Structure formats: C-alpha cells, structure tokens
A and B are shown apart, each in its own frame.
Chain A
Amino acid sequence: MCLAVPGKILRIEGDTAEIDFGGVIRKANVTMVEAEVGKWAVIHAGFAIEIMDEEEARETLKLWNEFLSSEGTTFN
C-alpha cells in the first residue's frame, strides 16, 4: 500500500503529468508537489507525493561510506 515508485516527469498538463518509470510511461496527478519537467517524482496510487532530491540521492551513499570509514570499521 505504501509502495511508492520514483519516475521522471516528462510532460505536465494541468494537474496531470506523464511519468517515465524506466521506459514505462504512465500518467500521475501532481497536485501535491511542485512538479517540473526533468525532476524525479515519487508516485503512490496514481499521485505524486513528493519530489526526490536528486543531489541528496547521489550524495547519500558517498557520505555514508566516508562516515563508515571514519568509524574505523574492519571493512575498507
């Protein structure tokens, strides 16, 4: 139920956007978010519930690894 899937916004027309889920294109309602073409939206039950912070998504893993290294774990 709370499954929500990220997809890229291709086109916006009023409340509706075309979303690209890795090649599968579906429409979603974007009333709840600040939709912009090219951004990633997370879609749940036909509605975009939030815009994914792309920069944050890219950086998170890098930061985790740096952090874990500084913790001095046995894996390098």
Chain B
Amino acid sequence: MFKYRDEGTAKRILAAIEDMGIESKFMHVCGTHQDTIVRFGLEEMLGDAGITIQQGPGCPVCVTTSKEIADAITLADNGVTITAFGDMMRVPTSIGSLFDAKSRGADVRIVYSVEDAVKMAAEQSKPLVFVAVGFETTAPSTAVPLRKELPANFSIYSCHRVCPPVLKTVFDMGETKVNGLIMPGHVAVITGYECFRPFSVMYDMPQVVAGFEPLDILMSCYMLTKQRFEERAEVENEYTRLVKPDGNPVARQLMDEAFELVDRAWRGFPTIPKSALALKEEHAAHDACRVHADILATTPDVEEEAKGCRCGEVLRGIMKSEDCPLFGTACRPADPKGPCMVSDEGSCNIAYKFRKV
C-alpha cells in the first residue's frame, strides 16, 4: 500500500514532465531523498525528461562541524560515556573519530534512540552524554525525556539544527542556481509547510513537499515543473498521506519546551543565525555544554576539513560527489576523509554505494 513504485505511473509522470518542455534544476535537502534518487536510478530517467537534481545541505551528520565532534571525543577521553547514533561514530576529525576514542579505551556506545541512552544512564553512576543530531524530524524525540525525571548523570549535547535558515543561506550566498526545491517530507511532518512559504515569495521559488518513494520524487518534479510552466511559485504538498499543513503541533510543543534557537556554524557554511537548537536554561542540569563546561574548555582546535576534502562544497550544492578528487580513491566508506562519505545520508556515501563499476 505504501510502496509507490509502479512503473506505468512513473512513465506517465515522466512523459507529462517532458511534454511541458522546460529544462530545470531542482535541489533537495535530504539524504533519504538522495538515497531514493540514486538507488532507483531516477537521475537518469529525470535527466532524459530535462530535470537535473542536486543535493543540498541535508544530512544532519554531514553538517555537524568537526568542532562538535571533537567536543564529543574530548568528553569521551575524559571519562564521560558517549552515546550517539551510529552514523556519528566514524566521522573523522584531525583528532580522530569517536570510534578511535573507543579503541583507546573510552566508553563510546551506539544507541538507536534517546530512550536507550536514558536507560543506560540509569544503570551507571558515571556521567553519560547523548550526542543529539538531526533536524526537526529528530529534535522532538530528544525533548521527550526532558518532560520526566531524568538520572542526574544524564545530559544532552545538542547538535540539533533547523532547516529554514540554511535554505535562506543557500539562496543568499547565490552559488547554486536552482529552479525549484524538493522539500524534506519528514521535516515537514513536524513543521508543516507554512514556514517555507517565504522562500517562494522572496526568491520566486517553487517548492513541493515530497515523500520518499520513487513515485513521490517523480511526482514532486512534475509538480515543480508544472509550477514553472504556469509561472507560479508556491508551496505545494505531494506527501499528503503524511504531511499536514500545520505539521505535528505536539512535536513542536515538545521542541519549544526544551530548546531555544541559537546561532551555529554548519560544515561548509559560515555561522548561520538562529539555525541550531540549544537546551533552554531550565534544563541546565541536563545540558552537557553547561554540566561539562570544564572538560569542553579543553577541546583542542581541529581543522574543519581534512586536506583535499570537499564536503563543504558538496553540502552547498556546488560540487557533485564524484567530482571531488578524493572520491573513491583516498576517500571511501572504509576509509572516509569527510562525513559525506561516512553517513548513510551523505551524498558521497550514496554515490559510492550505487556507483556504476
């Protein structure tokens, strides 16, 4: 029922795009979209219909800075248990990765959800930090345990970021010329899509909120092309089976209770105003930045990118993974030089996994 993969429908959508006779470049900002596009060979199909797709800054692990990962490594090296999603473990920095810290004896563990981390904290006395990454899709879940009484040794190092400010930055930097945006469906599930409307008004940008099956992507490209054909620039919703106009108010309430917006650098970008989520003052007792301020003050300076790594340009949507000189040679999933090759959501990892050999 939820597999939108019918070939006949795909052909119809592609033919309808081609009939409009407009060549377009569309950007998406989600690693899961990139996975669908590459895995199902949609790039080639859409290319034949005149559509080029470009991934922008949409892999949470990839946009987390080396400084933030170095903070987590430093905590681990100083006797704090670090828990994080698996993708974070192998991201390299100039002081190594979290897995390197583990191999020299630090207590570093992969968790599936924040609730796992809370349970682990309750079973030990030494301090435990959950390194929280993710966009609006993930941030509400990190906020859920904060409503309850938490073990005193549990704290959160928030790398959570929000989507709209980085899109504004991409447009304002003006490096990438795109004709439309495929909007991240699982961010919009939480935020709704009214918050994206200003982009259509300010930048004359067609936008379509899209799901993650192959037909969702094709249909969103059709809807974007149709907007261009009719000289419209609006926010439309393709993912109607899940995304409501006002999103999930309960999830947003959770975020509002727990977090406040702060300025933060993103990998590949300068500091973006009000683009990240830090724990509010009332949760200071569980904010790793406050609880472990003394240790974090000792985090060594790290290079933001390894020599030759072009993740920043890949994330800004101005370079394709395959065009990086390190791609597939010095930088591979088994020996990554940058986060885009580590994360399942990273465009380099996806390009390598499904490359034609």
Show the binding face of A for B, using Cβ within 8 Å. 1-4, 6, 29, 31-33, 40, 42, 44-47, 49-50, 52-54, 56-58, 60-61, 64-65, 68-69, 71, 73-75
Contacts and interface: CB of A to CB of B under 8 A. Distances in A.
Contact of A2 (B115, B250, B254, B345): B345
Given A2-B135, A32-B251, A61-B9, A75 B15 contact: yes
Nearest to B141: A47
A49 B19 contact: no
Contacts of B13: 64, 68
Interface stretch (B39-47, B183-191, B314-322): B183-191
Interface in B196-251: 212, 215, 219, 240-244, 248, 250-251
Contact of B219 (A33, A47, A64, A75): A64
Interface of B: 1-2, 4, 6, 8-9, 11-13, 15-16, 19, 30-32, 58-61, 85, 87, 112-116, 133-135, 137-138, 140-141, 144, 184, 186-187, 189-190, 212, 215, 219, 240-244, 248, 250-251, 254, 343-345
A1 B343 contact: yes
Contacts of B138: 1-2, 44-45
A68 to B, nearest CB: 4
Q: By DSSP majority rule, is chain A's interface helix, strand, loop, or mixed?
A: mixed
Nearest to A44: B137
A64 B115 contact: no
A65 B5 CA distance: 13
Contacts of A69: 12
Contacts of B242: 42, 50, 52-53
B86 to A, nearest CB: 11
A42 B188 CA distance: 13
Given A2-B32, A53-B240, A64-B9, A45 B16 contact: no
A74 B19 CA distance: 9
Contacts of A1: 31-32, 59-61, 85, 87, 133-135, 137-138, 343, 345
A73 B244 CA distance: 30
Nearest to B33: A2
B19 to A, nearest CB: 6
B144 to A, nearest CB: 5
A3 B32 CA distance: 6
Nearest to A51: B242
B60 to A, nearest CB: 5
Contact of B2 (A6, A65, A73): A6
A3 B344 CA distance: 10
B134 A75 contact: no
B241 A32 contact: no
A4 B137 contact: yes
B61 A52 contact: no
A46 B13 CA distance: 34
Given A31-B250, A49-B186, A65 B140 contact: no
A58 B92 CA distance: 44
Nearest to A63: B240
Contacts of B184: 2
B189 A33 contact: no
A5 B14 CA distance: 26
A75 B13 CA distance: 9
A68 B12 contact: yes
